[in-house]
A and B are shown apart, each in its own frame.
Chain A
Amino acid sequence: MKPFTLPMPARYGINTALLIIFLIVGNAVTQSGMLGRAQNSLIIQIGFFIILAVSLNLMTGYLGQLPLGHAGFMAVGGYAGALFWRAQILPDGASIVVGLLLAGVTAAFVGFLIGIPALRLRGDYLAIITLGFGEIIRVVLNNIDWLTYGARGLQSIPRHSSFTVVYICVIFTCAAIHMLMKSRHGRAILSIRDNEIAAESCGVNTTYYKVMAFAVSAFFAGIAGALYAGNQGILVPANFDFMTSINILMIVVLGGLGSMMGSVIAASILTFLPFVLQPLNEYRMIIYSLLLIIVMIFKPSGLMGNYDFSLSRIIEKVVRRIQKAKGASADETR
């Protein structure tokens, strides 16, 4: 007998249905006033940290590079989105969509500009040059007072980051990166991670794919930045420093390099934990950094390794097991 497989439309159907149910439930919960302001804000935070982690994972987990300036792209997107929203050119609904897209595209453009010189280098040089760019972006934002109000911060940003908006962005990010990685472009990206020289000699245009991955990663980081702006209502350049980039990197590493599910889980846990463990906040970074070292030494693949969650695969497994049991019992009766 052929092993049971779900047809593609059914897979999409199940996933879409679940996502919609989750959206409705989540929306109902956040709207009902069951949760306080802080809890609601926490859920939003988990959302944009998931986007940040998943987009950084594209660079670190899938492409195998270590950029340390992710907060810089987040800042660019955040400011672009916030400035557009403040201008209030369009009605609210359209403004949200256009603002998010603008944030993403601006960040992607900056990522593209940075990627061209940065990605000619590899390893540690890439890390240090992206770190440098992150710092440059922060210094520039701090100093162009006429646009960003410098260190005083950009204030009274419309609070557009509702649960629905953030949720849809999270789904959009995960789906887009998942589909990218399942395509031939995704395989090219993976081949660069596994062996850049071999990939190049097989005709993979490594520079093109590196810059593309970098720009895509920056695009989503920009969207996350805009969501951050829409949640906080104020942007200060100091919020986008090196430590922010490191925080995102920690999520990716602890979750597992190259596992989207790992990033999602780690982003949720690492955002949620400080909220619950207020008294331990003083030791938080110590614990995180120790975890980072210990994970690297004993389980470099992180929490999830490169395992990725697939609901359809689980359903298939269950159905196959049931069929097997049925078949076995049918054999006995015969």
Chain B
Amino acid sequence: MLTHLINGLQLGSIYALVALGYNMVYGIIKLLNFAHGDVIMVGGYIALFALTFGLNPVISALLTVIGCTLLAIIIEKLAYTPLRFAPRLSLLITAIGVSILLQNLAQLFFRAGGRPFPSQLLLPTGSFSLGGVSLAYTSVITILASIVSMILLAVLVKSTKLGKAMRAVSEDQGAAQLMGINVNSIITFTFALGAALAGIGALLYAVRFPLIGPTIGAMLGLKAFVAAVCGGIGSIPGAMLGGYIIGLLEMFIVAAGLSRWVDAVVFLVLICVLMVRPTGFMGRNLMEKV
């Protein structure tokens, strides 16, 4: 039971980190960034190659995070910036296009099959026991890493000038611009920040499921988005909560022996949440302006 709990929390931490990326981007330009999951997939490959190349784990991790950030900035500049004032449908379709492009490029370069990820090179394996419960190092490190990143993010958003600017832009772009905020660079920064978290998420995901393939990002991304919606779009603690809920739920379904139904149940939860409380558990209700 407790093992499942820890496993669920580990999975939930990964979802939470990815969900934050969706959350921030959605909060600022109202775009469901379909490519976010595939940025994670690319991050997985970067980490894989860095580690098998024999680089130091810390340097590999840094490379992964930087790689994801750069990729997100490139995507934002090339594909999303030209559509800043286009209808949201166009933006959404573009995001889907970017996602498929990344998946198929990965498939072209790295072949369709999965590659085993040398997770033992990144994090120590083994476990220790605490009060009679054996805990894997990887689970504990994953949970801690995600909590630390989220606290850092919360501090950044709540109490720095940059964070204030981000909140201002997500509230009202026009007004923010009039106050002398460079909206474009703030949006780019948001993408970069989300992708940096995705990079961390990619590392933790690769440790948890050590098989990197071109399509690992798609399902992970979708479930993380479900987590973001359940928790409440636009709220950092909401994304955390949503991530943990989805992670735990998934683990318990698997524990109950219904692993074939996992995806269906996750989406069913999303539908129920959207029916009952469309803003998520911790989201604010925004009225539509005419």
Contacts and interface: CB of A to CB of B under 8 A. Distances in A.
Contacts of B30: 123-124
B264 A135 contact: yes
Q: Which of B92, B97, B229 has the most CB of A within 10 A?
A: B97
A125 B93 contact: no
A297 B100 contact: no
Given A242-B218, A297-B79, 12 more contacts: A60-B89, A120-B275, A123-B30, A124-B31, A124-B92, A128-B226, A131-B267, A139-B264, A246-B100, A249-B96, A286-B104, A293-B101
A293 B30 CA distance: 18
Interface in A87-122: 117, 120-121
B288 interface: yes
A289 B229 contact: no
Contacts of B270: 128-129, 132
Nearest to A114: B271
A300 B90 contact: yes
B80 to A, nearest CB: 10
A289 B100 contact: yes
Nearest to A292: B97
Given A135-B263, A290-B101, A296 B271 contact: no
Interface of B: 26, 30-32, 79, 82-83, 86-94, 96-98, 100-101, 103-105, 108, 218, 222, 225-226, 229, 260-261, 263-264, 267-268, 270-271, 274-275, 278, 288, 290
A117 B93 CA distance: 23
A242 B225 CA distance: 16
A121 B274 contact: yes
A317 B271 CA distance: 52
Most chain A CB inside 10 Å of its own CB: which residue of B93, B270, B275: B93
A169 interface: no
A120 B103 CA distance: 32
Contacts of B26: 124
Contacts of A288: 100
Given A123-B92, A124-B26, A296-B93, A139 B32 contact: no
B32 A127 contact: yes
B88 A292 contact: no
A206 B92 CA distance: 22
B229 A300 contact: no
Contacts, number: 113
Contacts of B97: 289-290, 292-293, 296
Nearest to A117: B275
Contacts of A143: 260-261
A161 B76 CA distance: 45
30 contacts: A64-B89, A66-B89, A120-B275, A121-B274, A123-B88, A123-B92, A124-B32, A124-B88, A124-B92, A125-B278, A128-B222, A128-B270, A129-B270, A129-B271, A132-B268, A133-B271, A135-B263, A135-B267, A136-B268, A139-B263, A140-B264, A242-B218, A286-B101, A286-B108, A290-B97, A290-B101, A292-B93, A292-B94, A296-B83, A296-B86
Interface string A288-328: 11101100110010000000000000000000000000000
B93 A249 contact: yes
A40 interface: no
B247 to A, nearest CB: 17
A142 to B, nearest CB: 7
- Across the A-B interface, give the 10 residue pairs with the lowest CB-CB distance, nearest first: A132-B267, A292-B97, A124-B32, A289-B101, A139-B264, A289-B100, A285-B104, A293-B97, A296-B94, A136-B264
